[in-house]
């Protein structure tokens, strides 16, 4: 039997990309997946894919910038399923590698709102249940943009550095409570993040460029000479949600094909 059998995991941004891959993987291991996000059509499709495979999942439309909606997502999961064993914060939008000068007030607020505030709100809501229970696993999907200065644009880089800092603080502060908090820092991953971000940002969206947009750049910068696949992130997420990571907290795990090892 899988160690995730019967566990309840909440995930923000589980509709597409790395989040969707995590949902499908964890559901296949017997976990009940509670998804929160704004892409309702993609969320419904992900839930259906889980159910078609015999798993358990549900989707709730949730703007992670809203305290009320995030609290409702996580409190509702606990009311319905009796507990929350783990949280994955995967909701994020990209800034198209906009420079400091080119970053507008509106773009900054949008990126920071989803990526930094959204992660904080979900962690806080989950901790309110995990700390009294004496157990919990939180995995924040950050980025190598939270570790280095030139992987992404100004607002995205700042937001992911905030996620890394929050992860370290929460991991240390709640270690004695039986709760671990860690981060996954992916490199260039093959997802629809640019198209989804442009769609969500609307009029605030900059041109969706960036270091991962060029195949020639990928071959030059990444030792593996390719982008990663969302499925290649699920093993680390699963490990950090499991009992084998019980002595691991406040850490950031890079999965970038060797990009930052150069």
| Residue 85: per-residue pLDDT | 98
Q: How far apart are CA 92 and CA 160, in angstroms?
A: 9
Specify the pTM: 0.96
| Residue 196: per-residue pLDDT | 83
| Residue 97: per-residue pLDDT | 87
Q: How far apart are CA 18 and CA 232, in angstroms?
A: 9
Domains of the chain, first to last: 8-256 (3.40.50.720)
| Residue 206: per-residue pLDDT | 77
Which alpha helices (H) appear in 82-138, and where do they start and end? 105-111, 118-133
Which residues in the chain show pLDDT less than 50?
A: none
- H or E stretch covering 47: helix 40-52
Q: Catalytic one among 135, 156, 174, 247?
A: 156
Kindly state the tokens that stand for 151: 């992987």
| Residue 70: per-residue pLDDT | 98
Look up 135 and say whether it is catalytic.
Answer: no
| Residue 211: per-residue pLDDT | 64
- Beta pairing, strands 179-186 & 136-141: parallel
CA-closest candidate to residue 19, choices 244, 191, 226, 205: 191
């Amino acid at each position: 039997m899988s160690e995730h059998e019967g566990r309840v995991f909440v995930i923000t941004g589980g509709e597409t990309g790395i989040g969707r891959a995590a949902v499908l993987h964890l559901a296949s291991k017997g976990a009940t997946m509670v998804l929160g996000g704004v892409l309702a059509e993609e969320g419904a499709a992900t839930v259906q894919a889980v159910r078609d495979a015999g798993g358990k999942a549900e989707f709730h439309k949730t703007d992670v910038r809203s305290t009320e909606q995030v609290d409702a997502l996580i409190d509702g999961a606990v009311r319905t399923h009796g507990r929350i064993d783990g949280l994955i914060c995967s909701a994020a939008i990209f800034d198209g590698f906009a420079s400091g000068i080119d970053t507008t007030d509106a773009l900054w607020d949008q990126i920071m709102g989803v990526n930094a505030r959204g992660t904080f709100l979900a962690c806080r809501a989950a901790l309110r249940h995990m700390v009294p229970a004496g157990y919990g696993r939180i995995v924040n999907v950050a980025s190598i943009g939270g570790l280095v200065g030139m992987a992404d644009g100004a607002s995205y880089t700042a937001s992911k550095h905030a996620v890394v800092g929050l992860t370290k603080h929460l991991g240390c502060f709640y270690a004695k409570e039986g709760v671990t908090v860690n981060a996954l820092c992916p490199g260039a991953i093959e997802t629809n993040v640019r198209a989804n971000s442009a769609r969500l940002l609307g009029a605030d969206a900059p041109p969706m460029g960036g270091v991962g947009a060029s195949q020639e750049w990928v071959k030059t910068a990444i030792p593996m000479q390719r982008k990663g696949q969302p499925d290649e992130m699920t093993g680390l997420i699963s490990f950090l949600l499991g009992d084998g990571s019980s002595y691991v907290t406040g850490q950031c795990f890079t999965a970038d094909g060797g990009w930052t090892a150069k």
